[in-house]
Amino acid sequence: MFRSPCLFSRYSVVLALTFSACAMTHAQRSQERPRLVLYALDLDHDGNLSPQEIQAAPSALRTLDRDGDGQLSLYELTPRRQDAGVSPDQMVTQLMRFDKNGDGVLTADELPERMQSLFARADTNRDGKLTPNEIRQSAAKSAGPRGRPTDAGEAINMVHLDPIVDVLDADHDGAISAEEISAASTHLLLLDKSHDGVISADEMRVRQQSPAQRAAHMLKEFDTNQDGKLNRDEVPDGMRTRFAEADKNGDGFLDSSELEQMFATIPAGGPRPNHDNNATPDAQQPKGPTN
């Protein structure tokens, strides 16, 4: 896998974009991540929820219950990705191939330029060496098993940007309980602002994170020395072309204000790298409602 110079550039871009919102509408799956709950509910896949689909909501939602525990967990509400990246252990195996002297650790000079920012983030004790454990911890901290934030509160906030999940998860605990599934038809009607019995695409359009929220996420994720700002080595590879432009005061750092200004010019639902186009419901595709 290391024959391609794009591998870790892509990995960094995936991490940098974890704070972005999910798909804006069900009909735009070619550009955006699928919304599993909408995919399950929208049986004819026309981007709207008809009265019949609203009525069938409890049965449709149960098709997403992969572990059969009667509720939908945060993991079950999150789309699976075909190219979600490697596991922490796989990352160790792949990176340690660069251990030229075979001493069991990596130094910066053993890694190519494109991986230097990854090295800086993973070398938590700042001893200039990267151990397998540091690689493993960095990979686990940076992203969940499918490229999602691992902070539970942040992940719950992310999934609640989808108004469908927001109304179904009435207690906002990050899971749709058995009781909430049973009440789904009633809860969904809260989205019917026009009171015509149909929930249109516009009525369930995904909300976007604010520039301030995106800036806060970026600092939390990549500020390795926790000084409240990012230097050029700390930002993910995909942001380096914007660094000079975003550094308004020219001090060599991006603070929260500068990050917020930058994100104000980048739509949260804007175009994604091509590898996101492979995101599909995959094995989670609902097989159809069951009673």
Q: What is the pLDDT of residues 58-72, one digit of tens each?
A: 999 999 998 888 999
The two tokens of residue 8 are: 């870790």
Coil, helix or strand at residue 76: coil
Main-chain phi, psi angles of 12, to 5 degrees: -65, -40
Query: SS3 sequence, 274-291?
Result: HHHHHCCCHHHCCCCCCC
Mean pLDDT of 140-155: 50
pLDDT band for 262, please (50, 70, 90 cuts): confident
**Are residues 178 and 73 both part of a single domain?**
yes
Q: Please give the mean pLDDT across all residues of the chain.
A: 75
Look at residue 124 and tell me if it is in a domain: no
Is there a single domain that holds both residue 47 and residue 189? yes
Domain that holds residue 253: 208-270
CATH code at position 223: 1.10.238.10
Confidence of residue 268 (pLDDT cuts 50, 70, 90): low
Considering the chain, what percentage of its residues have pLDDT values greater than 90?
33
Look at residue 14 and tell me if it is in a domain: no
* Helix or strand run (H / E) with residue 55: helix 51-55
For residue 15, give every residue at least 6 positions away whose Cβ sits within 8 Å of its Cβ, in sequence order, or none: 142, 143, 147, 221, 236
How many independent structural domains does the chain possess? Answer: 2
For residues 67 and 153, membership in a common domain is answered with: yes
Statement to judge: residues 195 and 213 lie in one domain: no
Residue 280 falls inside a structural domain: no
**Mean of pLDDT values over 83-95:** 70
Q: Give 52's pLDDT tier (boundaries 50, 70, 90).
A: very high
In angstroms, the Cα distances linking 155 to 33, 78, 108, 160, 225 are 15, 10, 32, 9, 23
Do 109 and 130 contact (CB within 8 A), yes or no?
no
- Alpha helices, DSSP H only, in 56-204? 57-62, 88-95, 116-122, 132-142, 152-159, 163-168, 178-182, 184-188
Residue 173 phi, psi (nearest 5): -100, 5
Closest by Cα among 147, 134, 120 to 222: 120
**Cα separation of 19 and 266, whole Å?**
13
pTM score, whole prediction: 0.49
Q: Are 32 and 22 in contact (CB under 8 A)?
A: yes
Mean pLDDT value of segment 183-211: 92
DSSP state of 98: G
Give the number of residues written for the chain.
291
Q: In terms of domains, do 186 and 226 share one?
A: no
Residue 238 vs residue 190, higher pLDDT: 190
On whether both 74 and 214 belong to a single domain, the answer is no
What CA–CA distances, in Å, run from 108 to 114, 128, 158?
11, 7, 34
Whether the pLDDT of residue 147 is over 50: the answer is no
DSSP bridge pairs for 231: 253
Supply the pLDDT for residue 201.
93
Stretch 205-217: mean pLDDT = 79
> Which residues have CB under 8 Å from 107's CB, separation 6+?
128, 129, 130
Contact 195, 78 (CB under 8 A): no
Asked if residues 200 and 192 have their Cβ atoms less than 8 Å apart, the reply is no
- How far apart CA 225 and CA 95 sit, in angstroms, is 23
What distance in Å separates the CA atoms of residue 42 and residue 52, rounded to the nearest whole number?
10
Residue 288 lies in a domain: no
